[in-house]
Structure formats: C-alpha cells, structure tokens
Amino acid sequence: MRSDKIKKMILKILPAGVLLGMAVWLLKGDVWTFLTWWLLAGVMGMAAMPLTGRLFREFDDKGWMFSKIVAIVVTGFLTWFLTAVKLLKFTTAACVGVSLACGILFLFLGKAQHKKGIECLPMDHLELVYWEEVLFLAFFLLWTYLAGFHPAAYGTEKFMDYGFMEAMMRSTTLPAVDLWYSEGTINYYYGGQYFAVFLTKLTGTKVELTYNLMRTFVAGLAFVLPYSLVYQMTKDRMGKKAAGAVGWKKAVPQISGILAGLSVSIAGNMHYVYYGQIRPWLQKLTGQEPDSYWFPDATRYIGFNPDVEDKTIHEFPCYSFVLGDLHAHVVNIMFVLLLLGLLYAWVKMVRKRTYDIGEPGTKEFWEKHLLMPQILFAAVLLGMFRWTNYWDFVIYFVVTGGVVLFTNIVLMKGQGKWVIGVTAAQAAEVLAIGTIVILPFTLNFETMVQGVAVAQNHSLPHQLLILWGLPGILTVIFVISLLAEKLVGVKNKTIYKFMKSLKLPDLFAMVMGLCAIGLVLIPELVYVRDIYENGNARANTMFKLTYQAYIMFGMTMAYVIFRMLVISYRKFLKVTAGIALVCLVWTFGYFGNSVDSWFGEVKDPSKYQGLNATAFLETDFPEDAAGIRWLKKNIKGSPVVLEANGDSYTQYERVSAMTGLPTVLGWYVHEWLWRNDVADLNTKSGDIELIYTSKDEKQVKDLLEKYNISYIFTGSCEREKYGENLNNDLLSGLGETVFRDLNSGTYIIKIK
C-alpha cells in the first residue's frame, strides 16, 4: 500500500522534474537566469496570496496563477510611484526594499484574515495548483527555448524596446532620459519595459538576457492565465455535474482551459487556414504552383491583399511572441488577463445567493458597493494601463463598465434608478482612482492623439469574414441561443429577467464576446487620428482594438465550444461547436508555421544561440561592436553620446539602443509620433550633420555645448551617411580619444 502511494507521488512530480531537466539540457548556461525568474515569480506569488486569495476567494485555486501578476503589480507599481514622485531612487536596493516591505504587509494581512476564518490558500485544491505550475513552466520553457534561436534585439521595434530597458537600468529617476531625444524624457507608454527592468533589478540579472526572458515570461502567462479563468468558468457552469462526472467529462474543465490557453497564446487566425492550407491545396489540385505562406501576412491582410491605400494592422499574441518585440501591447497582456480574471472573481462573489448588498440608499449600501476590493484593485489596474498601454485603459474601462452594468442589473433586481446610480458611482470611483494613481505619469506626458475621425475606408466583407468570422459568428450564435433558451415562452420579457436567468459563466462569456465584436467593428466606423493619417489612418486603431478582441475571443470560443458540446441539447449547436472546434484547432498550425519560418533549425539543439539579445553586434555590426561594448562597460549615468541619426526600423541608433545612453536624435518617425514637432526634429537632424561634417570648429563646439554632448561615436553608420564629408581630423581634435579600433576605424571622442 505504501509503495503504491510512493509510485503515485513519483508519477505526479515526474512532469515537473522532467521539465526542469529539459531546461538544464536545452537552455545550457541560460538556465540559471531562467530558473531565477521562474522561482522569483513563484515566491512573489506565494507571498501575495493573502491579497490574491481575498480577491479570488471564489476560485478553486484562490487565483494562484494570478497571484504572480498581483505581486508584480503591487511591488513594481508602488516602486515606480515612489520613484516618480521623487521619494525613492530607482535602484536595486529600492526595488528589493519595497518588495520586502510589501511581503511583510502581505504576511500581516494573511494573519488578520486567518483570525477571521478567511482562507486565502488553496489547500483543498493543491493538485490543481501543481498542474497549473507545471503548465506555466512548460510554456515558459517552450518560448524561452525558441527565443534562443533568434535572440537578437534587432529589427522591427526591438531597438526601441531594448533601448528603453537599458535607459532605465542606467537611470535613478523616472521617466528616464529619452535615449533618442536627449533634451527630454521618454514620452511614451514605457510601463511594460519598466516592469521588465524592475524584475531584472530584483533578480540581479542583466538586460541582455532579461529582454528575451520578459517576453517569454509573458508568453507563458498568456497560456496559463486563460487556462485558469476558463477552467473556473467551465467548472462553475457544470456545477454539481463536475463533481459527479465520469470518463472524459470529468476532464472537461481542464480541456476547455487548455483550449483557451492555446487559443490566446499560440493560435493564428483563419487567414492561415485559408491562405496557408486550403488555397495551396486547391492550387495543387488544379495543377498550379502552390503559393508559399509567410506568417506575417496574417497580420497584414486588410489593405495589402488586394493592395490599396488603406493599410492596416491586425496582429495577435502568437505573432508578437514569435517576432520577439517587447512593446507596450505585449507586456500588458498579463495585466489585462489579470483584470479579466478579477472581474469574473468579482461577479462570482456578488452573485452568490448569500451575498448581501444592503438596503438601497443606506450608508452600508454605498459602502458595500464602493469599497469592494476587486473594484478598487481594478481601478488601480485601469489607471496603470494609461502608463503601460493607454489603448487598453479605454478598452477595458468599457469592458469593466459592461460587466459591472450587467451585474448591477441583477443585483438591483432591475430597478433602473439604483442600477444607473450604483453603476455611475462605481464608474466615477474607478475613473477617479485610476486618474489619481497615475498622475506622476500623465502630468509629464504629452498625448499623441490628434482627435477622432470618421473612417473613410472600410474593410472588404470577405476580409472581415476570414479574420473574424469564426469567433464572431460563434459568439452571435451563442448569444441567440441564450436568448432563445431563456426568453422563449416567458411573459413580460425584460433585460433583468434575461440577465438573472443566465448562469454566471454564460453571462461573462457573452460580455467578452460582444465586447470583442464591438472592438472589431469600431475601426470600420471611426479611428483615432495620429501621424499615420496618410495611407495608414486606421492602422493603429485597428491594431490596438483587435489585439484585445483576439484575446477575449480566444477565451470566449473555448468556453462557448464546451458549452455547446457538453451542456446544450440542440443538435444544431453541437454540430456548430464541432465545426468551430475543428477550425479553431486548425489555426494552431500557425504556431508551427511561424516557428519554422522565424527560428530556423529549431529542432537541432546544437543551433541554440542563447538568450543574449546583443550577441548580434559581432556579426551585424562588426566595425562597431567593440566600441559599443566599451561604452556600456565604462560609462556610468546617462551622458549624451552623439551618433548619426536615421529613419525608424533601420540600423541607425545601434549605439543608443544597445547602451541606453541618450543621443541628440534617434529614429525619426518614432520621435515624430512622440513629440509631433517636425521643425524641431529637422533642426536637430541638421545640427547632427553639421557636427560630423562642418569644418568650422567654433560652430561644432557651439553645437556640442548646445546639446551637452559628452562623447562622439564615429563608426560604420556615420561613415556610410556622411562619406567623404566626415571631418575626422576636426572631431579628433575636440577631446580625448578614449576608444579606437585600428582595423575598422571606429573611434570614440570624449569632449573636453
């Protein structure tokens, strides 16, 4: 008997052991940094369970996986706030100190709740917690291993993302000096990169490695957080049937959770299915040469095929994770998933039959509704979104409002006065708290928005159908089926009766699905104006809105497919769900296609390059690599280092990006977007050229003083841009030559 228990225990812990062994074998020397991050997330999450367990008290796992993000939000955001209001310096000591202080507060909170009989640890569901940890470790490891085949922080937005991290690592104040505009501070949503730096400082690791670790960390969470939420939704919908289920039905919550995780983190869209699978197959049948499929095409379809002036962007998480950017919308994935989980936890709590909302109009009534911990925490998160990705603030303020409104309709028993009053009060509360907590950012931030305009261009119907037809049609069928199921034969049909009759998971899935449909439709009606007005007017609006639509659709589809297959008795719905399941699983092939295209010989572990995001310097910038590394090693603080400026997404600004040292002017279009002052940018561009080419020493010295330039870097890009006009003799006489590569001719001058 005892040997059987030991065998079962070994079989249970074997997956975790195998994954850890694979990590050591696959990641080689990077494994220690990887394990440090994984362990730190686990320890921080465990410490935050007194708060998370209170917020997610109705979840089986008490929000165990969400606790990692709760801990990062509390400690990281508090550190930023104290630094931004100049009460702390942004140092490793400050990050560690604030984290320890929060840990102590969590401990006291846990003790206080224990005395009240409130259990914040999932002691009755430890097996669930274990398997969630295994799944997180597996996907974190998968993405980290893949990143090692293409680790370079070079191409697309990577110079900017990596440069932001290096700039903040150098700075003790926030916002840091803009590495591409030395006369100002960063005027962009830098919160995502900040959290990456915060975790880098906590773990004592280096940005060269953690740039890639942060994006794979988010990718791992993009699987396990949807898993946790949809698992709970599915189990709630099954109710008592879940406990008595046998055979495969016993695993339905786990299956739907896995489907949700895969749908959010590795799936593509039906563009891949049609253009990457069906169309080439049809071409083969007709004797034609099949078209090859390039995975970015799934994100550049409307406006590109057919080629028209209305160029748009419709990216999704898997594309981001493969590409390797660490942009605002990518890092914020884990925070928006936390918000969605929090909203479901709140609705689940207040919809309990035993929950007392108090007598309407009394002091107790208003206190109950305005001091709900989930709403208060959601308000802080929404405020934080203004700093991590402002678009998500607008999107999820509306999503939060929809969830709150529909829930209040039930809580207030359809009494319009109290529904409107309570919802408005909670909306004002959320807006006020969200505005106050983020003031240190907004007071120093100049918006890039230039108004809202009516869309002059529209997507072709078949394009919308290919991109969004699967989740959109499935959501509409689901909503119609709910209406038919709950209202047919009911007298005096009202919204209240409909909402009250809905099971909580059905309501939440409906809200997510309808919000996602709305996000897809909005760019067809209006768009937010910015500098991309000419030819790309809708691009940014469609990009940011449909990105979040994709995330909500992913979880909605996983739940709805389960709902129709397992719960529904109508054959039509079961057949619909079966077809949708096949199509959804088919989109998972996008992951394999993109991995094969982007990461090369990923099947051969010997080709693993490691996680160092700057290793490409020796191969892509051999003339400049030694000089860049000299600057990074020897220069402290943030003195201005001059380099030639260039267009966005080019090799220019390799020095500032890789060192975090500010230069006079960087990628032109980026600064145009952030500053919207073309005349100033043109002046700076001209002045940089004068410094490198002018033969008037006084003029050059005046410009060096004007921009407070401490070092001049002259390397491959400068020689390429200025050619024979490059005045090496004059530049060399301006100060001390602190670095010179005799083979390449690259040199660095320290100004006197």
Kindly state whether residues 65 and 204 are assigned to the same domain: yes
Kindly state whether residues 241 and 123 are assigned to the same domain: yes
Is residue 33 in some structural domain? yes
How is residue 246 written in tokens?
A: 């046998």
CA distance 345 to 240: 19
Give the range among 161-170, 226-235, 306-315, 379-388 with minimum mean pLDDT: 306-315
Kindly state whether residues 249 and 353 are assigned to the same domain: no
Contact between 557 and 587 (Cβ < 8 Å): no
Average of per-residue pLDDT across 398-416: 89
CA distance 139 to 117: 36
Confidence of residue 9 (pLDDT cuts 50, 70, 90): low
| Average pLDDT, rounded, for the chain | 91
How is residue 607 written in tokens?
A: 């080709």
Is residue 503 in some structural domain? no
Kindly state whether residues 74 and 193 are assigned to the same domain: yes
| Angle, alpha carbons 166-169-170 (nearest 5°) | 90
pLDDT digit string, tens, across residues 61-101: 999 999 999 999 999 999 999 999 999 999 999 999 999 99
pLDDT at position 419, please? 86
Is residue 511 in some structural domain? no
Kindly state whether residues 243 and 346 are assigned to the same domain: no
Confidence of residue 610 (pLDDT cuts 50, 70, 90): very high
CA distance 506 to 496: 15
* Bridge partners, 712 (sequence order): 642, 749
Burial of 446 (0-12, 13-18, 19+ CB in 10 A): exposed
Is residue 596 in some structural domain? no
Q: How many angstroms separate the Cα of 86 from the Cα of each of 81, 90, 172, 176, 661?
A: 9, 9, 10, 13, 22
Kindly state whether residues 107 and 249 are assigned to the same domain: yes
- Domain of 677, in residue numbers: 617-751
pLDDT digit string, tens, across residues 532-566: 777 788 989 999 999 999 999 999 999 999 999 98
Task: Give the type of residue at 612.
Answer: N
Model confidence at 381: pLDDT above 90:
yes
pLDDT at position 543, please? 93
CATH of the domain at 727: 3.40.50
Is residue 552 in some structural domain? no
Is residue 642 in some structural domain? yes
pLDDT at position 354, please? 67
Model confidence at 1: pLDDT above 60:
no
How is residue 400 written in tokens?
A: 């939060």
pLDDT at position 156, please? 87
pLDDT at position 151, please? 94
Kindly state whether residues 347 and 250 are assigned to the same domain: no
Q: How many angstroms separate the Cα of 221 from the Cα of each of 116, 153, 217, 227, 610?
A: 32, 22, 6, 9, 21
Task: Give the type of residue at 451.
Answer: G
Kindly state whether residues 105 and 197 are assigned to the same domain: yes
Q: Where among 264, 282, 303 does a domain terminate? A: 264
- The pTM for the full model equals 0.94
Confidence of residue 244 (pLDDT cuts 50, 70, 90): low
Tally the domains of the chain. 3
Kindly state whether residues 723 and 622 are assigned to the same domain: yes
Kindly state whether residues 10 and 106 are assigned to the same domain: yes
Model confidence at 488: pLDDT above 80:
no
CA distance 542 to 725: 44
Q: Where among 229, 264, 299 does a domain terminate? A: 264
Contact between 340 and 516 (Cβ < 8 Å): no
Is residue 286 in some structural domain? no
Confidence of residue 712 (pLDDT cuts 50, 70, 90): very high
Taking alpha carbons only, the member of 534, 716, 531, 653 closest to residue 157 is 653
Task: Give the type of residue at 482.
Answer: L
Cβ-based neighbours of 13, under 8 Å, separated by 6 or more? none
Kindly state whether residues 365 and 224 are assigned to the same domain: no
Model confidence at 309: pLDDT above 80:
yes
How is residue 168 written in tokens?
A: 């903040």
pLDDT at position 245, please? 67
Q: Where among 446, 471, 505 does a domain terminate? A: 446
Is residue 115 in some structural domain? yes
Please give the helix or strand (H or E) that residue 681 lies within, else none. helix 678-693
pLDDT digit string, tens, across residues 447-463: 777 788 898 889 999 99
Taking alpha carbons only, the member of 662, 635, 664, 654 closest to residue 739 is 635
Kindly state whether residues 53 and 145 are assigned to the same domain: yes
Average of per-residue pLDDT across 374-396: 95
pLDDT digit string, tens, across residues 217-234: 999 999 999 999 999 999
pLDDT digit string, tens, across residues 124-181: 888 899 999 999 999 999 999 999 999 999 988 999 999 999 999 999 999 999 999 9
